[in-house]
Amino acid sequence: MTSPPAALSVRAPAKINLFLRVLGRRSDGFHELETLFQAVDLCDDVSVRRVDDGVALDLLGADLGPLEENLAHRAARALLAETGATAGFHVRLRKRIPAGAGLGGGSSDAAAVLKAANALLPEPIGPETLSALGASLGSDVPFFLGSSALARGTGRGERLEALPTLPEAPVVLVLPPVHVATGAAYAALVEARAGGGEAPCFAHVGDAPATWEEVAAAARNDFEEVVPAKHAGISRALGALRASGASPALLSGSGGACFGIFADPGTAETVAETLRARLGFPAIATRTLSRFPEPMVVEG
Which residue in the list 44, 109, 140, 222 is annotated as catalytic? 140
Distance CA 81, CA 162 (A): 28
Q: Which one of 15, 44, 109, 115 is the catalytic residue?
A: 15
Give yes or no: 15 in active site: yes
Under 8 Å between Cβ of 211 and 218:
no
Q: Which residues of 149-181 are buried (b: 16+ CB within 10 A; e: fewer)?
A: bbbbbbbbbbebeebebbeebbbbbbbbebebe
Known catalytic residue: 63? Answer: no
Report the C-alpha gap between 234 and 214 in whole angstroms: 25
User: In the chain, at which residue ranges do the beta strands (DSSP E only) sit?
Assistant: 7-25, 31-51, 54-60, 88-94, 150-155, 159-162, 170-174, 220-221, 249-251, 258-261, 283-287, 296-297
Rounded Cα gap, residues 49 and 290, in angstroms: 28
Please give the Cα distance from 109 to 72 (Å, whole number).
6
156-162 long-range contacts (CB < 8 A, ≥24 apart) are 156/26, 156/30, 156/31, 156/32, 156/33, 157/33, 157/35, 157/37, 160/37
Tell me the residue type at 16: I
Question: Cα(263)–Cα(282) distance, rounded to whole angstroms?
Answer: 21
Instruction: Report the catalytic residues.
Output: 15, 140
